[in-house]
Amino acid sequence: MKRTLYLIRHGIATKRHQDLADKQRPLTSQGRLKTQQVAQRLCQLDLHFDLILTSPLVRARQTAEILQAAGLSTQVNLSSTLAPLGDFNQWLRWLNSWQDSGGNSLALVGHQPDLSQWAERLVWGQPKEVLELKKAGVMGLTLPKTGSAAGNSQLFWLTPPRLL
């Protein structure tokens, strides 16, 4: 069975301002709507994730909840590694363990530039600063069946939300 990883950037969030900590910024109504449209389209494409792993920041959690409500997964877990400037190597160790326990299809909900940099590390072994994931955009990678995913994965999908 093919192992897949989908990287999904959180939807449009409220603008930064002094009265609200960055980690507390929620999705806007437009962000919710656009994310719901993306989720519906992913369902139409018959996608299903064994697990949605999300950043603990409000806007990412809300995005993951929308994906779950659409029926893309029954399980959502928080991971501090997906917060901005999260630890890629720690997540990679988690991924290896998760795959060893039988996981095949995983969605990550997180932030820029981290998700794009992580995808670049998975595909090329290092960040190249060439990939960009738009808000509520989706990137798909095929992971190797054995060995490290870093430098051994294949990019098969990069789509902005307007094309979904």
Kindly list the distances between the CA atom of residue 146 and the CA atoms of 67, 95, 107, 142, 153, in Å, as whole numbers in the listed order.
28, 12, 19, 12, 11
pLDDT digits (tens, 9 = 90+) for 97-128: 999 999 999 999 999 999 999 999 999 999 89
Per the structure, the complete domain to which residue 63 belongs is given by: 3-163
Q: Which residues of the chain have pLDDT under 70?
A: 18
What per-residue confidence (pLDDT) applies to 164? 83
Cα separation, 54 vs 1, in Å, equals: 24
What per-residue confidence (pLDDT) applies to 148? 92
What per-residue confidence (pLDDT) applies to 30? 97
What is the domain count for the chain?
1
Cα separation, 66 vs 49, in Å, equals: 13
CA end-to-end distance (rounded Å), the chain = 26
What per-residue confidence (pLDDT) applies to 129? 92
CATH number of the structural domain spanning residue 28: 3.40.50.1240
Does the pTM surpass 0.75? The reply is yes
Strand 105-110 with 76-78, pairing: unpaired
